[in-house]
């Protein structure tokens, strides 16, 4: 039997790209979304539609999903992974930085949910996987706005899970600790970047994007009546 469509946002690097490869190896047709379309297409995955979509644009997100569903059938899972981390102290951080984080990490997740949820409720099946962070469970220095976005992802996910449980739709929160990806590179303060890199070195290195991708696939591949509500995954030596 043909496997169902899986949508991954932020699939052009890091955890999203690794997740795309894991799901592709497992035989799922994919819709991959990000702004850097050349990175998506460069992965050369079979049975995969790549579209340049900014998750802050709900119309573009919806249009890409409609296009993919016309080819591969109904979306069975969306992995709301697109995110950005602009670390800083609130007293001197440009408002544009926290505005971007809330637009992508929080509103982007809501747009992803909104694009697939009505059909999933109707089908009485489907899985929404939201990529949060350990920074959605505890605070860290220089993380005030970023933690705000990830605490929001945890809260929205768990609330949604309760809301749609009776419709047979699963909601899964993935909360990674530090992962070796491009995420830190967008932070504009060099001193903070340096401190974060040293913190990772002290713990003997972060985990890899593939480690998180394997956990996401594991959660998704449980039977539909089994919902792994949350996976917290981090380097053994991360406190």
Q: Which residues are catalytic?
A: 146
Rounded alpha-carbon distances, angstroms, from residue 149 to 136, 182, 202: 8, 18, 26
Distance CA 143, CA 13 (A): 22
Distance CA 21, CA 70 (A): 22
Would you count residue 130 as binding ligand NDP (CB under 6 A)? no
Determine the interface stretch with ligand NDP among 24-32, 53-61, 70-78, 214-222 (rule: CB under 6 A).
Answer: 53-61
CB of 160 to ligand NDP, least distance (A): 17
Can you say how many angstroms the Cα of residue 92 is from the centroid of all Cα atoms in its chain? Answer: 28
Q: Which of 8, 34, 86, 215: binder of ligand NDP (CB under 6 A)? A: 34
Q: Are 164 and 221 within 8 A, CB to CB?
A: no
Would you count residue 237 as binding ligand NDP (CB under 6 A)? no
Identify which of 146, 142, 124 has the alpha carbon closest to the alpha carbon of residue 134.
146
Determine the interface stretch with ligand NDP among 20-28, 75-83, 110-118, 187-195 (rule: CB under 6 A).
Answer: 75-83
For ligand NDP, the closer CB: 15 or 129:
15
Would you count residue 182 as binding ligand NDP (CB under 6 A)? yes
Determine the interface stretch with ligand NDP among 52-60, 112-120, 159-167, 213-221 (rule: CB under 6 A).
Answer: 52-60
Would you count residue 55 as binding ligand NDP (CB under 6 A)? yes
Q: Which of 3, 4, 13, 58: binder of ligand NDP (CB under 6 A)? A: 13
Q: Are 7 and 65 within 8 A, CB to CB?
A: yes
Distance CA 17, CA 209 (A): 8
Identify which of 145, 174, 204, 179 has the alpha carbon closest to the alpha carbon of residue 81.
174
CB of 15 to ligand NDP, least distance (A): 4
Determine the interface stretch with ligand NDP among 69-77, 87-95, 172-180, 213-221 (rule: CB under 6 A).
Answer: 172-180
Distance CA 209, CA 211 (A): 5
Identify which of 133, 233, 130, 128 has the alpha carbon closest to the alpha carbon of residue 173.
130
Would you count residue 128 as binding ligand NDP (CB under 6 A)? no
Footprint on this chain of ligand NDP (rule: CB under 6 A): 9-16, 34-36, 39, 54-56, 81-85, 104, 131, 133, 176, 178-179, 181-183, 209
């Amino acid at each position: 039997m043909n496997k169902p469509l899986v949508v991954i946002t932020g699939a052009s690097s890091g955890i999203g790209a690794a997740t795309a490869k894991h799901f592709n190896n497992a035989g799922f047709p994919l819709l991959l979304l990000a702004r850097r379309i050349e990175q998506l297409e460069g992965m050369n995955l079979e049975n995969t539609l790549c579209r340049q979509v900014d998750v802050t644009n709900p119309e573009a997100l919806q249009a890409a999903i409609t296009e993919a569903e016309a080819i591969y059938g109904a979306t069975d899972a969306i992995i709301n992974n697109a995110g950005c981390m602009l670390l800083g102290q609130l007293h001197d951080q440009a408002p544009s930085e926290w505005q971007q984080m809330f637009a992508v990490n929080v509103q982007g997740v809501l747009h992803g949910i909104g694009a697939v949820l009505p059909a999933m409720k109707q089908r009485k099946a489907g899985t929404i996987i939201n990529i949060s962070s350990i920074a959605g469970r505890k605070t860290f220095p220089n993380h005030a706005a970023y933690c705000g976005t990830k605490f929001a992802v945890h809260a929205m996910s768990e609330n949604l899970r309760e809301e749609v449980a009776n419709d047979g739709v699963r909601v899964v929160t993935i909360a990674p600790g530090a992962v070796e990806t491009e995420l830190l590179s967008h932070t504009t303060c060099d001193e903070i970047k340096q401190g974060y890199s040293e913190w990772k070195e002290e713990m003997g290195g972060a985990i890899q994007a593939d480690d998180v991708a394997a956990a996401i696939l594991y959660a998704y591949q449980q039977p539909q009546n089994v919902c792994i509500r949350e996976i917290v995954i981090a380097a053994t030596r991360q406190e």
